[in-house]
């Protein structure tokens, strides 16, 4: 798809404003507008899904905390959409949108889209909201924490896969804990959830974890799939962490 010239687009926009534009021109304006806003041109049913995300409790709670002008909110919505497309088997469409997002937007946006498309982002937002309430965090502190999680995600997140054993999950968690990060995540989807529970139960009893990390966990069902997340946050870093400052 070629990018229209600014002059041409403005001319078409003027026609639309004057009520003289035809259907094709209006559709073209809509595509350009949506692509500028979202990074891709959503189908009507996808726009409906994006609107539904605005009502999602986890999304609403997070938006209220960080403020409606937080620049990543729209991409969080897109991540939720990608997860729904994946769950409903629309893999080609999800991959097409994902590629467009990766090409058009920066690294943080790509990470948000990736994390959200796994279905785990809703739980991460819940975790941050709970932490905000516990520590009376400012929106700035919460945004900083979210940005840090995005940046470190590949090093601090353990997705439980079909081939993973409880022993493997346990060893992976202990290896991360030895690096003393501010927090690390274990998450699962569907049939892997029971395995994740068992691994987390063992991790919580490990001497390297006791007294050093506190576990926060949540179960949920999203689009008919069981989701689980456990966040181990570092007690040692708690007092000196930006999260504790208003």
Distance, in Å, from the CA atom of 241 to the CA atom of 230, rounded to the nearest integer, reads: 20
Residue 187 confidence (pLDDT): 94
Residue 2 confidence (pLDDT): 44
Give, rounded to a whole angstrom, the gap between the first and last alpha carbons of the chain: 47
Tens digits of pLDDT across the chain (246 residues) = 444 444 444 444 444 445 554 454 434 434 443 455 666 778 788 888 888 888 888 788 888 888 888 888 888 888 888 888 888 889 898 888 888 877 766 777 888 888 877 778 888 888 888 888 887 878 888 888 888 998 999 999 999 999 999 999 999 999 999 999 999 999 998 889 999 999 999 999 999 899 899 999 998 877 677 889 999 999 876 544 444 444
Chain centre to alpha carbon of residue 157: 13
Residue 217 confidence (pLDDT): 92
96 touches 60 (CB < 8 A): no
Residue 237 confidence (pLDDT): 65
3-state SS string over 73-137? HHHHHHHHHHHHHHHCCCHHHHHHHHHHHHHHCCHHHHHHHHHHHCCCHHHHHHHHHHHHHHHCC
Residue 42 confidence (pLDDT): 80
Which conformational region is residue 211 in: left (phi greater than 0), alpha (psi within -120 to 50 degrees), or beta?
left
What the block records as the tokens of 95 is: 């991959």
| Residue 122 CB-density burial (10 A; 0-12 exposed, 13-18 middle, 19+ buried) | buried
Residue 183 confidence (pLDDT): 94
Strand order of the sheet with strand 225-234? 157-159, 183-189, 225-234, 213-222
The pTM of the whole model exceeds 0.75: no
Residue 240 confidence (pLDDT): 44
Residue 104 neighbours by CB under 8 Å, 6+ apart? 39, 40
Helix, strand, coil percentages, rounded to 5, for the chain? 60, 10, 25
Residue 39 confidence (pLDDT): 67
Residue 230 confidence (pLDDT): 95
């Amino acid at each position: 798809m070629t990018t229209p010239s600014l002059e041409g687009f403005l001319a078409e926009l003027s026609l639309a404003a004057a009520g003289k534009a035809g259907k094709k021109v209006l559709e073209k304006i809509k595509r350009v507008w949506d692509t500028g806003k979202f990074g891709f041109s959503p189908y009507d049913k996808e726009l409906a899904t994006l609107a539904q995300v605005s009502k999602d409790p986890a999304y609403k709670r997070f938006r209220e905390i960080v403020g409606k002008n937080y620049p990543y909110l729209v991409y969080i919505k897109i991540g939720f959409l990608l997860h729904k497309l994946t769950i409903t088997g629309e893999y080609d469409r999800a991959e097409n949108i994902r590629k467009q997002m990766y090409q058009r937007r920066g690294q943080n946006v790509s990470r948000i889209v990736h994390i959200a498309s796994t279905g785990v982002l809703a739980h991460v937002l819940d975790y941050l909201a709970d932490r905000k309430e516990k520590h009376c965090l400012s929106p700035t502190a919460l945004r900083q924490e979210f940005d840090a999680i995005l940046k470190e995600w590949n090093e601090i997140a353990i997705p439980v896969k079909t081939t993973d054993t409880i022993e493997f999950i346990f060893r992976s968690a202990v290896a991360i804990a030895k690096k003393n990060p501010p927090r690390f995540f274990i998450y699962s989807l569907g049939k892997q959830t029971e395995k994740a529970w068992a691994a987390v139960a063992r991790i919580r009893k490990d001497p390297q974890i006791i007294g050093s990390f506190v576990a926060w966990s949540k179960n949920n069902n999203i689009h008919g799939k069981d989701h689980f997340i456990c966040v181990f946050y570092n007690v040692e870093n708690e007092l000196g962490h930006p999260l504790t400052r208003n």
